[in-house]
A = this chain, B = another copy of it.
């Protein structure tokens, strides 16, 4: 039998009308459709005691006060920190050590919103970030892409657009992400224009802008002014930048200039220490968490010094190391525990959190990939992460974005919607009548209760195969990676771009053309 026939019977349809729509209602549950983001209905998983949390916080404060944060190549940021009360010690012409008295950064961050809206060009897709909300975005930053047909190769702008289209087509992601892969066929100093345009044109969800240089950050915001209108952009968050600290304990000037650009425009920013234990943070997880907290606090605070009230997201990316080979490891248990603790710390700060995601070191969309991903992703959603970057596609220790893994992760994100809905307990769901109707020993297929809940009781995967072995076997013994391969091709073949005002589109393209023409290509 053909791959398409297999797919047709597997229910991986994206049709919206007639029988397809009914099947979709049945399979996804009416309550799960069209949610712009998840509002969690279960508590967070708080694993650490008050006493231990305080020890971590005290260590973070001690790091900030006694070791300090090194700031490089951004005198303007240095002045902002100094005016706010940081002790500044010059190490070299453009390198300073910033020391912060205990509590100082927390005080500064009191003007940062606990929760904010990032607007999408389709207002139905606005996302609420912070509080009980959970927003899933695809993976970010891989130089390579992978699929089962062509294997691993450098990403291109076509791959980039494909990933944006796949994310847009999934009901289980909420945000278009940012650098869904590096489009290595576009000049380094111009690719941000094509990337931001792809998010704007092929998705109608919220997205991230460029951060690799201050002028690219500015271009990203400028394109938003074309899309949303300058006044709207000044008053609302419509774009965010994802900024990495340079661990351990360094803020690079390119990063701080980018943070200042986003904050000055009233836009959002994510402040991410990428902590590989034993390499750029202590090998023990408590130490990694303390350091991550210190670095993210220092980075977040800059936003409030530029523009009080600018949205800032506390963040951490924990990973471990193979003690045998020295390789970084992702999706392992210790970082999952660290992410849960980071959630507790973020809530004590009353700041939104980005943490964890579907991490894996596997080089294929196989069992290892999904086992590691689940270990990491469960910690994200249980720990109360508000913005989950790397929700889909992550393989190869973040070096590769995988087409199949993206489909598999998006399906898993669907399951997590149902998980975060928790358990409704009321007379109807308790179902006493269902059992009383026919009594002991009788199947419940035909009870009123079953008929009433039949379309919505369970979330249903459109990727997993739950049918009997015989049925599965007759369909060709496909594993989930192969089904995912068929599914992304079908989704791309059926994809239709959301409508966009022609004048806006032309203005965006015109801006991009002018910016590209204004400077020669740079490839490094």
Contacts and interface: CB of A to CB of B under 8 A. Distances in A.
Interface string A322-344: 11110111101110111001000
A407 B455 CA distance: 37
Interface stretch (A169-177, A220-228, A430-438, A506-514): A430-438
Contact of A440 (B144, B248, B397, B434): B248
A32 to B, nearest CB: 11
Interface string A380-422: 0010000000000000110110000000100010011011001
A464 B361 contact: yes
B430 A286 contact: yes
Contacts of A443: 279-280
Interface in A293-340: 320-325, 327-330, 332-334, 336-338
A457 interface: yes
Interface stretch (A54-62, A76-84, A233-241, A255-263): A54-62
Interface stretch (A132-140, A467-475, A494-502, A516-524): A467-475
A284 interface: yes
Given A371-B408, A480-B362, A400 B444 contact: no
A266 interface: no
A429 to B, nearest CB: 4
A337 B458 contact: no
Tier of interface size on chain A: 35 or more
Nearest to A63: B435
Contacts of A43: 46-47
A102 interface: no
A423 B26 contact: no
Contacts of A330: 466
Contact of A278 (B63, B246, B444, B480): B444
A285 B429 contact: yes
Q: Which of A68, A286, A445 has the most CB of B within 10 A?
A: A286
B371 A412 contact: yes
A21 interface: no
Interface string A1-35: 00000000001000000000001001100000000
Given A325-B466, A464-B361, A464-B368, A441 B249 contact: yes
Interface stretch (A106-114, A122-130, A198-206, A446-454): A446-454
Interface string A251-277: 000000000000000000000000001
Q: Which of A328, A364, A455 has the most CB of B within 10 A?
A: A364
A458 B371 contact: no
A440 B97 contact: yes
Given A59-B430, A436-B67, A439-B249, A333 B419 contact: yes
Interface of A: 11, 23, 26-27, 42-43, 45-48, 52, 55-56, 59, 62-63, 66-70, 97, 144, 152, 246, 248-250, 277-291, 320-325, 327-330, 332-334, 336-338, 341, 361-375, 378, 382, 396-397, 399-400, 408, 412, 415-416, 418-419, 422-426, 428-432, 434-436, 439-445, 449-450, 453-455, 457-461, 463-469, 472-473, 477, 479-481, 484
Given A249-B439, A278-B450, A374-B378, 18 more contacts: A23-B324, A45-B382, A47-B423, A48-B422, A48-B423, A59-B430, A278-B454, A283-B449, A283-B458, A286-B430, A291-B431, A320-B457, A329-B464, A334-B459, A337-B422, A367-B480, A368-B464, A370-B374
